[in-house]
Structure 1
Amino acid sequence: MLKSKLYASNDSIIRVLAESDGSLLVIDCSPATKAPRIVSATVLDDATEITESELHARTGVTPRQNLTDEEQAICQRRYTLISPVLTCLQDDGGRNRSIALIAERNGLSKRTIRNYLYLYLAYNTKAILAPKEIKMKELTDDEKNFRWALNKYYYTRFGKTLSETFTMLIKERYCDGSGKVLPCHPTLHQFKYFYRTHRSLQTALISRNGIKDYQMNHRPLLGGSVQQFAPCVGTGMLDATICDIYLKDDFGNVVGRPVLTACIDAYSGLCCGYSLGWEGGMYSLRSMFLNVVSDKVEMCRKMGITISDDDWACMDLPAILVTDKGKEYVSQNFTQLSELGCMIINLPSFRPELKSMVEKFFDLIQNDYKHLLKGKGVIDIDYQERGGHDYRQDACLTLSDFERVVVHSIIYHNTKRIRKSFPLTENMLAEGVLPYANTIWNYGKHQAGANLIKVSAEKLMLVLLPRTVGNFARNGLIANHLRYHCEGFVENYLAGGSAIVAYNPEDVSYIYLVEQGYRMFSLIDSRFISKSLYEVVELKRQQKEINAKCAEESLQGKVDLVRHIEVIAAAKKPAVNTNLKNIGNTRRIEESLTHKDFIKEVSNG
């Protein structure tokens, strides 16, 4: 059987396609551009059989390996085009008519069909029909200059336009020594065409605007939802914002804009707790955490608002706390929550979309009241623009008034705002869970994986107190330059040493020894009892200033004392022979001479 075998003679390579009665149907493989032909079998007498590898080496054509799925599909489609022709290879007329018909039906040229056919016959594999592998074309000198100019001037934070970049390109690369533009310079159209065909949008956005802007405003949003990050109840997202409204105090004086701090459960969207006040930082966080673990029904009752237990059934602390890198969230004070078992996740800077639940909460809450409180201190889009309205003049609500507004908005957010995008599971639908944050929370906190921590308000506040190093000494436990004592620590006072203590900046009357389960120590310096640490520092500062003012007068008094003593001492000199006998009798005589009746002295004036 000679079919499919390869033979080489001189510079010619043929493949046998068929054999019959001393004749052969062959195709020239070097090059594979001619139609199959019938030759006598004697042509093989002077020919040598070669392998497929030798064919590839001699022709310089090797069928591609490791084709992609798309390339394999192309090969199959091209083979399907020529397959009808394979049945009539020996009939030149039939072959040509078949090629013409295939070309007409598929909108291709007959030359294309012939090329596919000859390649397949010559190399005997469908892989030879694969499209040519695209190789990167080497850049011309002009294109290299284009790329240089784009990297140096366009892909930078300075934001030059393409026209400005082109100008810099001409100045640097297409001018002679005297600064004259060379006649052979490229055009702006060519430069822009190179940019459009080689640009990377991601590279342009990151290099011109920065990675933070790209991550925040441009990156592809390919995540499923926040539920992928928080698959169950117990992931709290924390943040704070300044409300868009000016408030007054009870006397009608404008105070400013309050700070709203909130903790939002990422799974259900429930507002676990909030804080509204004039102070931010750790103070607002302590207030917010205290609200998280407090009885919301009782809190609302004090404001004159009635809710049911299911409307805001959150009295536990989320075990995972997601925050940004604000100074209060990365402080040692905040990380002490890990002692309760909390995991703290600090997100990268300028990535608010990673805690989108709390960011959207602020947006929704403010949108609830802003259109209703216009003209009552709410700021508008022209805030701080030149000639804009001074919204401070409109302020009329107090902090307590506005807090009731915020609480009503939170209750609506928790109980009536539909969470359209929340993926209710089959079990939720079967149990009648409505698409509200509170119903999702009430369902989720009883499911496997719910990650909540029960903690008392007292323990939570002790954990959140600031800490310092205290030193044991004979005069007590010294912390913040104040002395404290507690029964049962005599050995510590005698041995000395240091310990971590928690203190309340609002009242220095007590400190708490952390290592002993927050054992309480009482203040020894009674004059500072019930005073804040700031007041203590201020009193000590004032006393220090008074002492400094009296230092000169005290020094002068000491100098005067020395002078008076020296004057008295100078008038007397020791006797040469001092009588040391009968000192006792001498003392009694002197006592009788100097003894006085003080009643008589007083009576005689």
Structure 2
Amino acid sequence: MMLLVNELLQDKDTKDTFRILWIDEGNVIAYLINIYDDKALPFKRSVAELIDEIIQEQFIKIKEDPFMFLKKVEESEKILEMRDNAWAVVGNIVRDEPAIYEKNERAEHIKNAMNEHNVSYPAVRKYLRKYWQRGKTPNALLPDYHKSGGKGKEKKASSKKRGRPRKQDTSGININEQTKKIFRVALEKYYLTTKKNKLTDAYKMMVREFYAKDYYYENGVPKVILEDEDKLPTIVQFRYWYNKEYTVQESTISRQGRKKYEKDFRAVLGSSTTEAIGPGSRYQIDATVADVYLISRYNPDWIIGRPVVYLVVDVFSRMVVGMYIGLEGPSWAGAMMALTNVVTDKQAFCRDYGIDIPKSAWPSENLPDVLLADRGEIEGFHVERLISAFNLHVENAAPYRADWKGIVEKQFDTIQRKVKPFLPGYVDKDFQERGARDYRLDAKLTLEQFTQLIIKQVIYYNAKHYLKDYLRDEDMIRDEVQPTPLELWNWGIQNRSGKLRYFSEDTVKLHLLPQSQATVTFKGIKLKNMLYSCERALKESWFPTARQKGSWKVTVSYDPRDMSTVYLLDSDGYQFEACHLLEHQKRYANRTLDEITYLLEHEKQLHKQAEHGQLQKEIDFISEVDDIVKPAVKLANEQQSNDISKAEKTRSIKEHRKAEREERQKEEIIELGDDKPNKRTGEVLPFNQNDDEQKYARPSIKEFLRRRKEQKKDE
């Protein structure tokens, strides 16, 4: 049995819940803390004793972590500022493990933090306790504002002055929307420029421009008379709103320029001196375009191009711990899916692709201590999700660790070389040379089938690939460890553990899965032209409401690998609910977003192509209508009498309608039997061609009325 850092253990008798804070490399000693005790401190336990108590069911492993924040905290600047201030106090000292867990060492660290940051002893101890109890991440230091009223709401200005009363006679002004607008204009105009003015100078220029009561000239020089003091914002208010609305990064880029910021001021994440001492010390992620063309599951005649393969490799063991195959080029979205796969139960993952493996064949489902990546898909804003949510250190391998840069690239070469002989549509070296074969036309595999093939190769690689260049240390040589990824991983778990950390799969997914705005309509919850529903929407009558009052937006997370289900996020970010495709949308079930996008684009293209043909048919229909109407109008004009008045024509409509109906009834009589042919069958009946054709000609209405009038006279 293996224990992991950040796992939760619950005492069966007392119901106390403890978090594992640290495990030594020899897997002998662990430090724990009670996550609900307001006065709790870390304490030491034997790993062997803990495992025995778990086996005896005295301790139970808890999967759901009550302190894993699912909310998007980046929306609140106040909360972020408080979190960052607390992290600045304890961020360095918590890394001194295991010394920080011992009373005397901890006391010394707390004193140093007090002197350096000018905070009290209880405050530092409170920050440490929250950090340890709530998951050992910076987000653990978030204030509990979600338990308070008025969350995220700014106080409205009134006639009474907000804030601390001034000691002087003047009361000052409240900062309303108009004042904030003036602040923004002044900051953009006088401070956030390459002129690098001081903030106090920007304040003075703002007062001169926007708070002048009057002007006068002195020796030809225009002078300004300012408003009274109690009608002016103060420099303190000006500085406060500047710090509130502009980040250090935004300000530095505006004042120094982006190039200088990137060169001298940007954050350098991670450290170049840390070494991979065991599984989970470092993972490396990278992406490459596979040398094969694929076809669509919707239509085998659709060639969808070459897939992008993402691999996440443990540096210590060289084991592939996560993967993702999609159609989108190297980007944060693809890297995010690969990282999500890192914490996924690989047995269940393989089962989704029809592959059965034992748990031991691919045992990795934990986050690392450090993630190495190329400068591209991981850099930028999105990296903050990894740092804030999981305290995951991120390093850019390219500039700092050239010796490790090629590890994951080498695995790409190994895996692709193994599958090359079996891949129709494989792109060879002579691709696009004159006279070379067009390998695109050889495409036969779908994205799902290619993924199945790569999964099988990854499993084989992890278990069987012999790392001939791997330098085993003395401990490995003594234990006769074979340098294969799986054996190195298993040996490291037993002898070099402590770096792998547990986070629930749902928590990781909701932090990393892409989020989007869906629309609640009367037809369903619409996302990317697909329609979903959920239990909450039905209970709360969302769809009838949308039909009567109009649609509205909701936030959802989704897995691009399978769009059968999306996840509706609650407004506070702490809860989610699964939404499933409607029955008539099942053609999208079990399909990737790339495949669905390709299908919708193809259908859009077909519709556009059909528009011209439809226009042609409509023009042809107009021509056919004219071909019937124009001769009919001409014939009617020739046959209609000009001697009959309009009144006489309209007076006899009922009589004419009755006569016409009687004649049609005679023609439409249905006769049954072989010797009684139906007039409506369209058969050609023999007739005597010597008879007068007028005998069989259908009389006109005028002729019919004349005959009827003569018949009445005879009677």
Report the TM-score range of the alignment, normalised by the length of the smaller protein: 0.3 to 0.5
Give the number of the structure whose alpha-carbon radius of gyration is greater.
1
Give me the TM-score of the superposition, normalised by structure 1: 0.40
Q: What TM-score comes out, normalization by structure 2 length? A: 0.35
- By relative contact order (CA 8 Å, sep 6+), the higher-ranking structure is 2
